Structure 1
Amino acid sequence: MTAAPVAAAPPQRVAWIDRARGIALVAMIVYHFSFDLSMFGHVSWNVAQGSLWRGFAIAIAASFIALSGLSLALSTRDGVNWPAFMRRLGLIVAAAAAVTIGTWAAMPYPVTFGILHAIAVFSVLALLFLRAPMWVLLITAVVVFALPQVYQSEAFSAPLLYPLGLDPTPIPSFDYEPVFPWFAAMLAGIALSRVVPVPRGAIATDALARMGRHSLVIYLLHQPILMGGLIAAGYLGIV
């Protein structure tokens, strides 16, 4: 008698991480829509210059990078699944390249090391720290964060060194998260994975969790949709 096949366990996820990523996406959309309204001259505030807006943008980017570190640490607790890691890395690299090409064609300053580029590079660098003691994570994070505040040099002005973030006069960019200081956020996410509860359960179906599970697609599409909508509204005389 043939034994009945064992049913596969239903997929599980950490719901609060999906929701946290969804919240970061909502904040990002609010920021970029405000930026677009300012750029097209529909509002009086200057998102590009305001310190509060800049702080908002930093908090959003740091959230995405830290959540990436947290997710990477959780997914590699039993070792690195290299095929899955390389697939994810390749997808992020391809998306980053699309952002560079798109901004080169449509914006005055192309994004050459934005948040997707950073997450791709940081994911590789983070492999060195996945099993590091907590004190190593924290000390490295502090050094990475503080270094550009105390040391910069024209020696880092070469284009190949642009991702390091130690050039005192970096080229203009609408999105720039270099290794120093932004890799500190990735290290913070890895450290966070060791101290916060990460219960896995049934896949959450609320809107924020759904957004969090499709963050890359939303990231790539939201600006073309927002800017396209504002351009169309301008032609129609709505704004």
Structure 2
Amino acid sequence: MADETGQAVPVAGPDRPPARGRVDALDLARTFALVCMAIYHFTYDLEMFGYIPPYTAVTGGWAIFARMIAGSFLFMVGISLYLAHGRGIRWRPFLRRLGVIVLAAALITAVTRYAMPQTYIFFGILHSIAAASLLGLAFLRLPSWMTLGIAALIVFGRSTLSATGLFDAPVLAGLGLTSWPVRSADFVPVFPWFAATLAGIAFARIAGAGGLWRRLARSGETPGRWRRALAWPGRHGLTVYLLHQPVLISALWVFARLTR
């Protein structure tokens, strides 16, 4: 099994995969989400290089596509968080991996602050994953119905909270409750996106009660070569995330230099 950042974890119990099993179906799901993310970012880069009309990547179907990708990542954070720590928080691996995510998020902030200061990323998907991982610990033992109820409150109560103006301080912008619009190349605030992680936690509990994780772990005990290859990016999602944009931008830069 892998946690929210791809780390292998032993799991056991009636609602978990066998000890030291791995649900590679989750790795495959992460790989699919990463491919979708790369497609979206390639579209964003094409716009940046002037190959497609401005605002293509942030309007219409592409904007919906981006939200679906972010939601899928945070949903899987909830699943992995429950499977890795639902019967007791394993603090050492949790804090180690959380530290890696926080450092990666800080790197993204530093680089974008230099490269695009007007729309730099101060609370993007990695920041949101880090926050959701921490906050999600408080919900691992709650009944699924209660977790889903809180998720609904987060989604539908956001506009009411933001209208109060109590959260307008710039330092609180990451909550997503400001009454003013936030300008950022990637903004995935706690409200409403933490709801996706809560939905993942609830789903993992419900699916575990039905034995889904054991069945998936058994089905992946002897994966074929292609299955292992397709699961590899999902097991190393953070590395893929950090490297894919430099690769795409470099390739487009070379292409532009050769063709213009």
| Deviation sequence 1:64-106 (CA, Å, 0-9, x none) | 0010110010001331111000001101000100110111121
Q: Find the counterpart in structure 2 of residue 113 from structure 1.
A: 123
Instruction: Measure, in 2, the Cα distance between the counterparts of 1:49 and 1:20.
Output: 24
- Which runs of structure 2 are paired with 1:86-101 in the superposition (5 Å)? 86-101=95-110
Selected match of 2:254 from 217, 227, 232: 232
CA shift for structure 1 position 202: 3.0
* Residue 219 (structure 2) pairs with residue 209 (structure 1): no
The structure that has the greater radius of gyration is 1
Ranges in structure 1 where 5+ consecutive residues have no aligned partner: 1-8
CA shift for structure 1 position 190: 0.1
- Which region of structure 1 is more displaced relative to structure 2, 99-108 or 42-51? 42-51
CA shift for structure 1 position 149: 3.3
Q: Find the counterpart in structure 1 of residue 168 from structure 2.
A: 157
- Which runs of structure 2 are paired with 1:47-196 in the superposition (5 Å)? 47-107=56-116, 108-153=118-163, 154-196=165-207
Instruction: Measure, in 2, the Cα distance between the counterparts of 1:11 and 1:191.
Output: 23
Ranges in structure 2 where 5+ consecutive residues have no aligned partner: 1-17
CA shift for structure 1 position 203: 7.2
Q: Judging changes above 3 Å, is the alpha-carbon distance between structure 1 residues 194 and 28 closer, same or farther for their aligned structure 2 residues?
A: same
Instruction: Measure, in 2, the Cα distance between the counterparts of 1:165 and 1:45.
Output: 25
* Residue 55 (structure 2) pairs with residue 42 (structure 1): no
- Which runs of structure 2 are paired with 1:5-44 in the superposition (5 Å)? 11-44=20-53
| Deviation sequence 1:131-177 (CA, Å, 0-9, x none) | 00112101100001112234423331212211111112133011111
- Which region of structure 1 is more displaced relative to structure 2, 20-29 or 168-177? 168-177
Could you tell me which amino acid in structure 2 is paired with residue 198 of structure 1?
W
Instruction: Measure, in 2, the Cα distance between the counterparts of 1:92 and 1:83.
Output: 14
After superposition, the CA RMSD in angstroms is 1.9
- Which region of structure 1 is more displaced relative to structure 2, 227-236 or 21-30? 227-236
Secondary structure class of the residue paired with 1:73: helix
Secondary structure class of the residue paired with 1:194: helix
Could you tell me which amino acid in structure 2 is paired with residue 83 of structure 1?
R
CA shift for structure 1 position 55: 0.5
Q: Find the counterpart in structure 2 of residue 6 from structure 1.
A: none
Q: Find the counterpart in structure 1 of residue 5 from structure 2.
A: none
| Contact 1:11–1:203, Cα closer than 8 Å, also in 2 | no
**Identical-pair percentage:** 45
Question: TM-score of the superposition, structure 1-length normalised?
Answer: 0.90
